[in-house]
A and B are shown apart, each in its own frame.
Chain A
Amino acid sequence: MIEAILFTLSLGGICGLALSVASKVFYVYEDPRIARVENLLAGANCGGCGYAGCSAAAEAVVNEEAPPNVCILIGPESVAAIAGIMGSEAGTAESYKSFNNCKGGSRATDRFIYQGLNRCSAVNALYGGKHDCHIGCLGFGDCVRACKFDALEIGPNGYPIVDKGKCVGCGACERVCPKSIIEVRTMSQRLLHLNTEDDALAPCQQTCPAEIDIPQYISHIREGRYDSAVDTIRERNPLLLACGRVCPHPCEEYCRRAIEDDDAVSINQLKRFVADVEMNSGRRLPISSAPDTGKRVAVIGGGPAGLSCAYFLRRVGHSVNIFEAMPKLGGMLRYGIPEYRLPKAVLDWEIEGILNLGIDHHTNVRMGVDFDLGSLVGAGFDAIFMGVGAWKDYKLKIPGEDLKGCFTGISFLSRMGNQEHVDIGRRAAVIGGGNTAIDCVRTLIRMGVEKVYLVYRRTRKEMPANEVEIVAAEHEGVEFVFLAAPNKVIGDDEGNVTGLEYLKMELGEPDASGRRRPVPVEGSETVLDVDMIITAIGQSPDTTFRTPGTRMDELNITRWDTIDVDPDTCRSNVPYIFAAGDGATGPALVVDAIGGGRRAARGIDLFLKGKPVTAQPRALLSKRHIPESLFTDVGGVGKSVRTPMPELPVQERIKTFVEADLVIAEPDANTEANRCLNCCRLCYDPDKGADKPDSLNAA
């Protein structure tokens, strides 16, 4: 009896001692949450969960590989407690949600179901994923079976639909999906994800500089879910009202219908349609933000790049201050784009929505004058984004350029935008062939100038301005003077402009840009009788923000005066300075600046979280496409006519600055949305042709 007691005690003592010594000696740091989760698990080490013991299961839970209810022994309270540790607790972490990335075309189901396979994993294993759509959803619903929370179902179009309310982000669906169509991501991960080569991307989405999920929002419009459409656009572009009006929509060139030699879907009109629906509803859709990270970012410049960067940084939880040199936010959207294209009221409403996320802003403060890099760093900003734009007009460098009545494009437009008084003439000439020049001529027409010339040294074909804008200017009565190179400005004794002398040109050999170089014709000087001249031949960034003798001197500037940044991360050579938009790329589209702002936000986020600021693997930088997605012909695309854009009659619109382009009506939007082929890379069924996507059959 005594032996028994002694033996038990000594054995217990030895074991206890050995273990407690071992736990000190062999201590290894691990995530404290693992111990907390393990404490809540049953501790029976039964293996019923499929993991090797409770600590392995706890680790899997903490690494987001297993759901909180992984243990088959514990009750609902423990599950809730684990879920609490894993981030449902306010302010500790973002919750994960499941997303389906396949927009669906025709499913593989029709072709493979007869093989007796009813599982995605089986089809994928046996056929290696080589069917109609080598990236899209197989539609057998492995994910639906995997979901323990009943949050997934196979929708009417044959691909899974997530019930966001039920999804707890356990990741079970992502693990079983053999095609990586279902992804479980936090909102931040989704917001900052850049297009990659292996994403399911329609050609239009590959082309959009802002990487908007175009087929997704169009399908939302088709289903009448306008709120969802707006949310989808806002995942990539916070300035949808503005873009819906001014974007030259490069996406439409790569619309599958356009590739098939049909009229492209009017993608941008649809964007404007849903954006206007939200604005006119008088209620703002809620925009959620991640919990605060406590990091602060200064955004220099409140233009599209700055607003976009600030918006994305705020949504992933950083605190943002915008510093703007002009009296109001908006940058070129406000000061470069005339009222008739983008009404200021609309822009104000949009910017207000962005600021409502909790973004501070300061206007009338110019970097290098009112504050500098030192004061920002001193104020405790962890990173700086430079979205300074390109506001310095190029000069013609011809005699008489400084006479009274001579303006430059951006300064003219920004003074108009600022509602300053500008002395205008009776007859005006605008020099240049870009969008700024067109904006100037159309503004002049509306201001009552009797005769407006547009002087361009090449021909209409080479004009870089958007075709629709050129056509509108033609309709509004602008006289185009092509193949004309200004030679000098003629003035009177009082220094007022009285005419513009130009040389006639003829087209010679093509130059580096592929455009035929204009060559002056000897002795062809001609004088245009004008009393006002606007030069709009391009812009470059204004680099006066570089206060001499400060760290700013180290910032690398290219020979085009743009800030030299890594195109993938938007980081400059100064580790905490990032830049995007016109100030980094030279003059480009609004939507380029928005995409750049988001890319910079990703770089800044990585930087603030102490991760290496590197390019996203296999990122698809804009203007590159996934080659196999751009085949020329899928066959069977039935032609259909594009809904025309409604606009004010010419006689009416040239008298006013009221918005010229109108929004399409709801039935038209619906028709147009139904023209979308629902592209998702190769998702077409060669047996059936692509003329009837599922939605059309349903409609």
Chain B
Amino acid sequence: MAKTIGQEFVKGLWEEIPPFRLVLGLCPTLAVTKSVENGIGMGLATTFVLVCANILVSLLSGVIPSKIRIACFIIIIATFVTVVELMMQAYAYQLFQNLGIFIPLIVVNCIVLGRSEAFASKNKVVPSFADGLGIGIGFTISLTVISAVRESLGTGKIMGNQLFGSSFEPFSFMVEAPGAFICLGLLLCVMNMVSSK
């Protein structure tokens, strides 16, 4: 495990990019990617929680008894989720409204807990920070890509800018639930094709 800090960071962007390589955290991926704005917002919120939780877990890893470590991790994560919740309520209320219950549900996002357990609890603060940031940004990128595809096809716009000519009939299926599943499935397939080459 002689990876440099840079490598720890970069692996989250491609090697282990969630949710494509690490098929976890699908619910927010599907739920909030109706628009790019929501996708980025969700990604950043998750990144914040990931980074903070990773740092705290790696700091406390010597103190936490291993029997109740999962419970402790969840409490730590829940704390930061609450912080994000309150921050968004204060500074980005519209986004908070759009994301709805998916903000508190970051608590049960397996990516966050998974990184705490699998990485932060066994590594020092700096690599944990890099790992959290890498995975978080990777997750944000994925959400952005998926939401870009869905929003552009589903509404013909991205962040309010008209993309196609007026003759384009929006593909409203894509912003509905079935579109979310199929879009993610096809993107996974594309990822598989790219990486198998």
> Which residues does A use to contact B, with CB under 8 Å?
12, 39, 42-46, 48, 72-75, 77-78
| Chain B residues whose CB sits within 8 angstroms of the CB of A12 once the complex forms | 75
Query: Secondary structure at chain A's binding surface: helix, strand, loop or mixed?
Result: loop
| Chain A residues whose CB sits within 8 angstroms of the CB of B23 once the complex forms | 48, 72
Residue pair A39, B66 in contact (C-beta under 8 Å)? yes
- Chain A proximity of B138: nearest CB distance (Å): 15
Q: Given A43-B113, A43-B117, A75-B118 in contact, is the A48-B66 Cβ separation under 8 Å?
A: no
Residue pair B117, A73 in contact (C-beta under 8 Å)? yes
By beta carbon, the residue of chain B nearest A23 is B67
By beta carbon, the residue of chain A nearest B25 is A46
- Chain A proximity of B155: nearest CB distance (Å): 32
Give bound CA distance, A48 to B22, whole Å.
Answer: 9
B145: CB under 8 A from chain A?
no
Residue pair B66, A42 in contact (C-beta under 8 Å)? no
Q: Which of A43, A72, A78 contacts B69 (CB 8 A)?
A: A43
- Chain B proximity of A329: nearest CB distance (Å): 55
Query: Secondary structure at chain B's binding surface: helix, strand, loop or mixed?
Result: helix
Known: A42-B113, A75-B122. 4 other contacts (CB 8 A): A39-B66, A44-B110, A48-B22, A77-B1
Give bound CA distance, A77 to B69, whole Å.
Answer: 19
- Chain B proximity of A43: nearest CB distance (Å): 4
Give bound CA distance, A43 to B67, whole Å.
Answer: 11
By beta carbon, the residue of chain A nearest B117 is A42
> Which residues does B use to contact A, with CB under 8 Å?
1, 22-24, 66, 69-70, 73, 75, 110, 113-114, 117-119, 122
| Chain A residues whose CB sits within 8 angstroms of the CB of B110 once the complex forms | 44-46, 48, 73
- Chain A proximity of B13: nearest CB distance (Å): 18
Residue pair B70, A43 in contact (C-beta under 8 Å)? yes
Residue pair B113, A72 in contact (C-beta under 8 Å)? no
List 24 interface pairs A-B (beta carbons < 8 Å), by A numbering.
A12-B75, A39-B66, A42-B118, A43-B69, A43-B70, A43-B73, A43-B113, A43-B117, A44-B24, A44-B113, A44-B114, A44-B117, A46-B24, A46-B110, A48-B24, A72-B22, A72-B23, A72-B24, A73-B22, A73-B110, A73-B117, A75-B1, A75-B119, A77-B1
Q: Given A46-B110, A48-B110 in contact, is the A73-B66 Cβ separation under 8 Å?
A: no
Give bound CA distance, A42 to B119, whole Å.
Answer: 10
Q: Which of B1, B70, B73, B118 contacts A74 (CB 8 A)?
A: B118
Most buried by B among A44, A46, A74: A44
| Chain B residues whose CB sits within 8 angstroms of the CB of A48 once the complex forms | 22-24, 110
Closest 3 CB pairs of A and B: A46-B110, A43-B70, A73-B114
Give bound CA distance, A44 to B119, whole Å.
Answer: 12
By beta carbon, the residue of chain A nearest B110 is A46
Give bound CA distance, A610 to B159, whole Å.
Answer: 71
- Chain A proximity of B136: nearest CB distance (Å): 16
| Chain B residues whose CB sits within 8 angstroms of the CB of A42 once the complex forms | 113-114, 117-118
Give bound CA distance, A72 to B117, whole Å.
Answer: 12
| Chain A residues whose CB sits within 8 angstroms of the CB of B117 once the complex forms | 42-44, 73
